[in-house]
Amino acid sequence: MKLQPTSIISQNTNHLYKQNEIHGLIKRLYIQAKRRPALLIAGIMQPLLWLILFGSLFQNAPIGFFVTNLKYNVFLSPGIIVFTSFSGAINAGLPMMFDREFGFLNRILASPIISRDCLLFSSIYFITSVTIVQTLSIIVFSIVSTNHIIYISNLLIILLIIILITLSIASLSICLGFILPGHIEFLALIFIINLPTLFSSTALAPLSFMPSWLQILASLNPLTYAIESIRYAYIENPIYYIHNIWMNLNIVDNLAILSLICLLCFYHTRQVISHKSY
């Protein structure tokens, strides 16, 4: 029997310990969510209210002038789907912030953990799974209310885009959870950027409806690329195309942009967590 080198055994052991650390932190987050189900329910109800109220308020909006036979509810649904993932992901750093304030984070860092990456991976996994559940609820409601059918292949594209935007925003949120001094500042920042980020995208109106300065902001907003990609897969209309104020894009271009943003956000957050001291 050939013995494995000590270095390989050590690497396998460290990998197993790291998995256990991530699993333990994920389990803790799920227990917290189970004890506070109102947060999960509110994360589903808020986008539903937006979809119902805005869909009813602007149901006669002339969106069909630009895309043939398109109702505003169908046009709005991709924007609300992305807003759901954005709202859930932007709060990903809040549990980390409370752990800092209550001293639990110091206890984790003082324990013999293999890597600080477990803090990031566990939070990302938890918020992504919760966001997917919330997003699927919105998609099901949208299909039922608008009688609009989404094929499985398009649904997979939508879920991929949701995962990319959730990973990007959640990474930035966790980074802010390590940087900002307290939860008051964190919540204040969320209140400041939440709705402006939504309104400076194409979630509620096409790019052509906006003034020139808002078109520039919308073209720089990553949510626009996620919304337009989902809208492209959602509508399945050859007349509808993805564009910003500078160029026309296809679905592959948008996915590449979102993937690049996700990698940059994830890398930056890992660097902050690795070098941050308390």
How does pLDDT run along the chain (278 residues), one tens digit per residue? Answer: 444 454 554 555 555 556 777 787 788 888 877 887 777 777 777 777 877 777 777 766 665 544 555 677 778 888 888 888 888 888 888 888 888 878 777 777 777 666 677 778 888 888 888 888 888 888 888 777 777 777 788 888 888 999 999 989 988 888 888 888 888 888 888 888 888 888 888 888 888 788 888 888 888 888 888 888 888 887 765 445 667 777 777 788 888 888 999 899 888 888 877 766 55
H/E run at residue 166? helix 152-179
**How do residues 175-227 score in pLDDT, each as one tens digit?**
888 888 888 888 888 888 888 888 888 888 888 788 888 888 888 888 888 88
The count of other CB atoms within 10 Å of the CB of residue 58 is 16
What's the burial of 253, exposed, middle or buried (CB within 10 Å: 0-12/13-18/19+)? middle
**What is the reported pTM?**
0.81
